[in-house]
């Protein structure tokens, strides 16, 4: 990964190029996976393409596919080796979605029974059951 041009202000690019420290759990020619320095759970892993892309709309198909394949592999490692009961894979694009590092990445979160983070409770407390008419009208707006 040497000799590539990349944004020097991107911490993930600096990690990939060995200019910042990280604990890698997987690396290949296209993707790197390393432990998050601010873990939500023990074993919280970031999976990033080695090439710089700002967000999901910027990433090319090859890098997106490689990143998702690596997330699957990391998920299997977390289930097998940390005995995770489940996995959440989270991505944010844009400031309003909570993106703070503008290098496309996935958070792979190992989950255990009783870890007391209830996405479902939050989700259902903020959502409503949409009517067929609402869904059809919204679908038409999205695909136009």
Question: Could you state, in order of their start, the residue ranges of all structural domains in the chain?
Answer: 11-117
Q: How many Cβ atoms are within 10 Å of 50's Cβ, its own excluded? A: 20
pTM reported for the whole predicted model:
0.88
User: Under a CB-based contact definition with an 8 Å cutoff, are residues 66 and 73 in contact?
Assistant: no
* Tens digits of residue pLDDT in 25-53: 999 999 999 999 999 999 999 999 999 99
User: Can you tell me the distance from the alpha carbon of 68 to that of 47, in angstroms, rounded to the nearest whole number?
Assistant: 8
CATH class of domain segment(s) 11-117? alpha beta
In the chain, at which residue ranges do the beta strands (DSSP E only) sit? 24-27, 31-35, 45-49, 86-90, 106-111
C-alpha–C-alpha distance, residues 97 and 125, integer Å: 18
Percentage with pLDDT > 70 across the chain: 92
Residue 30: left if φ>0, alpha if ψ -120 to 50, beta else—which one? Answer: alpha
- Residues involved in catalysis: 105
């Amino acid at each position: 990964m040497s000799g590539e041009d990349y944004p020097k202000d991107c911490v993930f690019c600096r990690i990939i190029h060995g200019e910042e420290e990280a604990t890698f759990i997987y690396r290949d020619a296209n993707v790197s996976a390393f432990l998050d320095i601010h873990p939500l759970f023990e074993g919280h892993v970031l999976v990033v393409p080695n090439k710089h892309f700002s967000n999901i709309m910027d990433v090319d198909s090859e890098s997106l596919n490689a990143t998702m394949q690596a997330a699957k592999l990391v998920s299997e490692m977390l289930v097998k080796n940390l005995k995770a009961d489940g996995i959440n894979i989270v991505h944010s694009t844009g400031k309003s979605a909570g993106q703070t590092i503008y290098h496309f990445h996935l958070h792979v979160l190992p989950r255990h029974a009783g870890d007391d983070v209830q996405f479902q409770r939050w989700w259902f407390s903020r959502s409503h059951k949409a009517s067929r008419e609402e869904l059809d009208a919204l679908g038409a707006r999205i695909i136009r």
